[in-house]
Amino acid sequence: MSEKAAVRPEDLARAADALAGARRVVVSTGAGMSKESGIPTFRDALEGLWAEFDPQELATEQGFRANPRRVWSWYAWRRRRVVEAAPHAGHLAVTELQRLLPSVTVVTQNVDGLHAAAGSEDVVELHGNIRRLRCLDAGHLFTGEIPGEDDTERDPPPCPACGSPLRPDVVWFGEMLPRVAVERAWDDARRCDALLLVGTSGTVWPAADLPHIARSNGAFVIEVNPETSELTGIANVFLQGTAGGLLPRLVHEVRARVG
Protein backbone atom coordinates (compact mmCIF):
# COMPACT_ATOMS: atom_id res chain seq x y z
CA MET A 1 0.00 0.00 0.00
CA SER A 2 1.38 3.41 -0.89
CA GLU A 3 1.81 6.16 1.70
CA LYS A 4 -0.83 8.25 -0.06
CA ALA A 5 -3.30 5.40 0.31
CA ALA A 6 -2.28 4.62 3.89
CA VAL A 7 -2.84 8.10 5.33
CA ARG A 8 -6.40 9.34 5.65
CA PRO A 9 -6.84 12.90 4.32
CA GLU A 10 -8.71 13.90 7.46
CA ASP A 11 -5.75 12.83 9.64
CA LEU A 12 -3.31 14.79 7.50
CA ALA A 13 -5.64 17.80 7.72
CA ARG A 14 -5.92 17.56 11.52
CA ALA A 15 -2.14 17.42 11.84
CA ALA A 16 -1.67 20.37 9.48
CA ASP A 17 -4.32 22.39 11.33
CA ALA A 18 -2.58 21.78 14.65
CA LEU A 19 0.82 22.81 13.32
CA ALA A 20 -0.46 25.85 11.43
CA GLY A 21 -2.23 27.12 14.55
CA ALA A 22 0.66 26.53 16.93
CA ARG A 23 2.78 29.32 18.37
CA ARG A 24 5.49 26.86 19.48
CA VAL A 25 6.29 23.51 17.87
CA VAL A 26 8.77 20.81 18.87
CA VAL A 27 9.92 18.31 16.25
CA SER A 28 11.37 15.25 18.00
CA THR A 29 13.32 12.88 15.74
CA GLY A 30 14.85 9.44 16.22
CA ALA A 31 16.92 6.88 14.38
CA GLY A 32 14.27 6.24 11.72
CA MET A 33 14.85 9.76 10.40
CA SER A 34 18.54 9.05 9.79
CA LYS A 35 18.02 5.56 8.43
CA GLU A 36 16.31 7.00 5.35
CA SER A 37 19.58 8.77 4.53
CA GLY A 38 21.40 5.44 4.59
CA ILE A 39 22.85 5.85 8.08
CA PRO A 40 22.58 2.60 10.04
CA THR A 41 21.15 2.68 13.53
CA PHE A 42 23.57 2.02 16.38
CA ARG A 43 22.74 -1.68 16.46
CA ASP A 44 22.78 -1.97 12.67
CA ALA A 45 26.27 -0.43 12.62
CA LEU A 46 27.55 -3.47 14.50
CA GLU A 47 28.01 -5.30 11.21
CA GLY A 48 30.81 -6.92 9.27
CA LEU A 49 34.10 -6.65 11.15
CA TRP A 50 32.33 -5.03 14.08
CA ALA A 51 29.61 -7.68 14.54
CA GLU A 52 31.62 -9.64 17.11
CA PHE A 53 31.85 -6.75 19.55
CA ASP A 54 29.53 -5.96 22.41
CA PRO A 55 28.18 -2.38 22.42
CA GLN A 56 29.72 -1.99 25.88
CA GLU A 57 33.14 -2.41 24.27
CA LEU A 58 32.53 0.33 21.70
CA ALA A 59 30.30 2.91 23.37
CA THR A 60 31.44 3.32 26.97
CA GLU A 61 34.24 5.23 28.61
CA GLN A 62 35.51 1.96 30.05
CA GLY A 63 35.66 0.40 26.59
CA PHE A 64 37.49 3.43 25.22
CA ARG A 65 40.07 3.41 28.01
CA ALA A 66 40.58 -0.34 27.61
CA ASN A 67 41.04 -0.22 23.84
CA PRO A 68 41.13 3.36 22.53
CA ARG A 69 42.36 2.29 19.08
CA ARG A 70 39.41 -0.04 18.52
CA VAL A 71 36.80 2.49 19.66
CA TRP A 72 38.38 5.39 17.75
CA SER A 73 38.52 3.29 14.56
CA TRP A 74 34.86 2.22 14.87
CA TYR A 75 33.72 5.79 15.29
CA ALA A 76 35.94 6.91 12.40
CA TRP A 77 34.20 4.28 10.25
CA ARG A 78 30.78 5.48 11.40
CA ARG A 79 31.75 9.13 10.88
CA ARG A 80 32.70 8.42 7.27
CA ARG A 81 29.26 6.90 6.70
CA VAL A 82 27.68 10.05 8.16
CA VAL A 83 29.78 12.47 6.12
CA GLU A 84 28.90 10.61 2.92
CA ALA A 85 25.17 10.79 3.67
CA ALA A 86 22.86 13.61 2.61
CA PRO A 87 19.67 15.01 4.15
CA HIS A 88 16.52 13.55 2.61
CA ALA A 89 13.21 15.20 1.81
CA GLY A 90 12.02 14.80 5.41
CA HIS A 91 14.96 16.79 6.78
CA LEU A 92 14.31 19.52 4.22
CA ALA A 93 10.62 19.59 5.13
CA VAL A 94 11.50 20.20 8.79
CA THR A 95 13.70 23.11 7.72
CA GLU A 96 10.80 24.50 5.67
CA LEU A 97 8.52 24.15 8.69
CA GLN A 98 10.91 26.34 10.65
CA ARG A 99 10.58 29.01 7.97
CA LEU A 100 6.78 28.83 7.96
CA LEU A 101 5.99 28.88 11.68
CA PRO A 102 6.87 31.33 14.46
CA SER A 103 8.88 28.92 16.63
CA VAL A 104 10.02 25.40 15.75
CA THR A 105 12.66 23.62 17.82
CA VAL A 106 14.16 20.37 16.56
CA VAL A 107 15.09 17.94 19.33
CA THR A 108 16.98 14.95 17.97
CA GLN A 109 18.39 11.73 19.35
CA ASN A 110 20.52 11.42 16.21
CA VAL A 111 24.22 12.26 16.22
CA ASP A 112 24.73 12.74 12.48
CA GLY A 113 24.16 16.49 12.14
CA LEU A 114 21.84 16.05 9.16
CA HIS A 115 19.23 18.50 10.46
CA ALA A 116 21.84 21.26 10.44
CA ALA A 117 23.10 20.07 7.05
CA ALA A 118 19.54 20.50 5.76
CA GLY A 119 19.49 24.09 6.97
CA SER A 120 17.69 23.76 10.31
CA GLU A 121 18.98 26.37 12.73
CA ASP A 122 17.44 25.60 16.11
CA VAL A 123 18.55 22.01 16.78
CA VAL A 124 18.93 20.46 20.22
CA GLU A 125 21.18 17.37 20.07
CA LEU A 126 20.36 15.18 23.05
CA HIS A 127 23.00 12.55 22.30
CA GLY A 128 25.74 14.80 20.91
CA ASN A 129 27.22 14.92 17.42
CA ILE A 130 29.59 12.40 15.87
CA ARG A 131 31.08 15.13 13.66
CA ARG A 132 32.53 16.82 16.77
CA LEU A 133 35.35 15.72 19.04
CA ARG A 134 36.21 16.53 22.64
CA CYS A 135 38.95 15.25 24.88
CA LEU A 136 38.34 12.42 27.27
CA ASP A 137 39.57 13.89 30.52
CA ALA A 138 38.85 17.64 30.40
CA GLY A 139 36.06 17.86 27.80
CA HIS A 140 37.90 20.39 25.63
CA LEU A 141 36.13 20.74 22.28
CA PHE A 142 38.39 20.12 19.28
CA THR A 143 37.85 22.66 16.51
CA GLY A 144 40.44 21.59 13.95
CA GLU A 145 40.22 19.17 11.06
CA ILE A 146 39.72 15.60 12.26
CA PRO A 147 42.94 13.70 11.50
CA GLY A 148 43.23 10.28 9.93
CA GLU A 149 39.74 9.88 8.44
CA ASP A 150 40.55 6.80 6.35
CA ASP A 151 40.46 3.04 6.73
CA THR A 152 43.72 2.87 8.68
CA GLU A 153 43.28 1.68 12.23
CA ARG A 154 44.95 4.19 14.54
CA ASP A 155 45.09 5.52 18.05
CA PRO A 156 43.01 8.60 18.91
CA PRO A 157 44.98 11.82 18.51
CA PRO A 158 45.80 13.91 21.59
CA CYS A 159 43.92 17.04 22.59
CA PRO A 160 45.96 20.12 21.57
CA ALA A 161 45.07 21.80 24.87
CA CYS A 162 45.91 19.09 27.38
CA GLY A 163 47.14 15.94 25.65
CA SER A 164 44.17 13.81 26.70
CA PRO A 165 42.96 11.46 23.92
CA LEU A 166 40.20 12.82 21.71
CA ARG A 167 36.87 11.01 21.63
CA PRO A 168 33.60 11.54 19.72
CA ASP A 169 31.35 14.17 21.28
CA VAL A 170 28.49 11.71 21.72
CA VAL A 171 26.73 10.32 24.78
CA TRP A 172 28.02 6.86 25.64
CA PHE A 173 26.20 4.27 27.74
CA GLY A 174 26.31 5.27 31.38
CA GLU A 175 26.86 8.97 30.66
CA MET A 176 24.48 11.82 31.40
CA LEU A 177 22.83 13.72 28.57
CA PRO A 178 24.16 17.27 28.09
CA ARG A 179 22.53 19.39 30.80
CA VAL A 180 21.89 22.43 28.60
CA ALA A 181 20.29 20.29 25.88
CA VAL A 182 18.06 18.48 28.38
CA GLU A 183 16.89 21.68 30.03
CA ARG A 184 16.08 23.26 26.67
CA ALA A 185 14.28 20.18 25.30
CA TRP A 186 12.17 19.60 28.41
CA ASP A 187 11.27 23.28 28.73
CA ASP A 188 10.19 23.47 25.09
CA ALA A 189 8.16 20.25 25.45
CA ARG A 190 6.29 21.77 28.40
CA ARG A 191 5.58 25.03 26.53
CA CYS A 192 4.83 23.80 23.00
CA ASP A 193 1.39 23.77 21.41
CA ALA A 194 2.22 20.86 19.08
CA LEU A 195 4.84 18.14 19.07
CA LEU A 196 5.75 16.30 15.87
CA LEU A 197 7.32 12.92 16.64
CA VAL A 198 9.27 11.38 13.76
CA GLY A 199 11.02 8.05 13.32
CA THR A 200 11.43 6.95 16.93
CA SER A 201 10.65 3.63 18.56
CA GLY A 202 9.74 5.29 21.86
CA THR A 203 12.04 2.95 23.76
CA VAL A 204 15.00 5.29 24.27
CA TRP A 205 14.71 7.19 27.51
CA PRO A 206 14.66 9.92 28.64
CA ALA A 207 13.93 11.22 25.11
CA ALA A 208 10.75 9.12 25.01
CA ASP A 209 9.41 11.27 27.85
CA LEU A 210 9.12 14.38 25.66
CA PRO A 211 5.76 13.57 23.99
CA HIS A 212 4.35 12.58 27.39
CA ILE A 213 5.40 15.95 28.80
CA ALA A 214 3.96 17.80 25.82
CA ARG A 215 0.65 15.93 25.88
CA SER A 216 0.22 16.36 29.64
CA ASN A 217 0.62 20.12 29.16
CA GLY A 218 -2.05 20.31 26.48
CA ALA A 219 0.00 19.97 23.30
CA PHE A 220 -1.29 18.21 20.18
CA VAL A 221 0.98 15.23 19.44
CA ILE A 222 1.51 13.99 15.87
CA GLU A 223 3.48 10.84 15.12
CA VAL A 224 5.02 10.02 11.73
CA ASN A 225 6.36 6.48 11.58
CA PRO A 226 6.30 3.51 9.18
CA GLU A 227 5.06 1.32 12.07
CA THR A 228 3.36 1.94 15.37
CA SER A 229 5.68 2.60 18.29
CA GLU A 230 5.61 2.62 22.09
CA LEU A 231 4.35 6.21 21.83
CA THR A 232 1.56 5.80 19.28
CA GLY A 233 -1.02 5.47 22.04
CA ILE A 234 -0.51 9.03 23.25
CA ALA A 235 -0.52 10.63 19.78
CA ASN A 236 -3.55 12.65 18.75
CA VAL A 237 -2.82 11.70 15.14
CA PHE A 238 -0.74 8.81 13.80
CA LEU A 239 0.46 9.20 10.20
CA GLN A 240 1.83 5.90 8.97
CA GLY A 241 4.71 6.26 6.53
CA THR A 242 8.28 7.41 6.14
CA ALA A 243 9.55 10.85 7.06
CA GLY A 244 10.79 11.41 3.52
CA GLY A 245 7.43 10.52 2.07
CA LEU A 246 5.05 12.11 4.56
CA LEU A 247 6.73 15.22 5.96
CA PRO A 248 6.82 17.07 2.61
CA ARG A 249 3.08 16.38 2.23
CA LEU A 250 2.38 17.56 5.76
CA VAL A 251 4.42 20.74 5.34
CA HIS A 252 2.68 21.41 2.01
CA GLU A 253 -0.63 21.34 3.87
CA VAL A 254 0.74 23.65 6.57
CA ARG A 255 2.02 26.06 3.93
CA ALA A 256 -1.46 26.20 2.37
CA ARG A 257 -2.89 27.22 5.76
CA VAL A 258 -0.34 29.90 6.71
CA GLY A 259 0.76 31.07 3.27
Residues labelled as active-site residues? 127
Is residue 63 within 8 A of residue 56, CB to CB? The reply is yes
CA torsion sign, 7 to 10 to 11 to 15? positive
At 224 the three-state DSSP class reads strand
Is residue 244 within 8 A of residue 92, CB to CB? The reply is no
Is residue 157 within 8 A of residue 166, CB to CB? The reply is yes
Phi, psi of 232 (to 5 degrees): -60, -35
* Closest by Cα among 232, 227, 189 to 35: 227
Exposure on the CB side of residue 108, measured as CA atoms within 13 A: 23
Residues forming beta bridges with residue 36, ordered by sequence position: none
Q: Which amino acid is residue 215, in one-letter code?
A: R
Task: State how far the alpha carbon of 188 is from the alpha carbons of 22, 89, 124, 246, in Å.
Answer: 13, 25, 10, 24
- Cross-sheet strand order for the sheet of 141-142: 141-142, 128-135, 166-170
* Cα 196 to Cα 237: distance, rounded to the nearest angstrom: 10
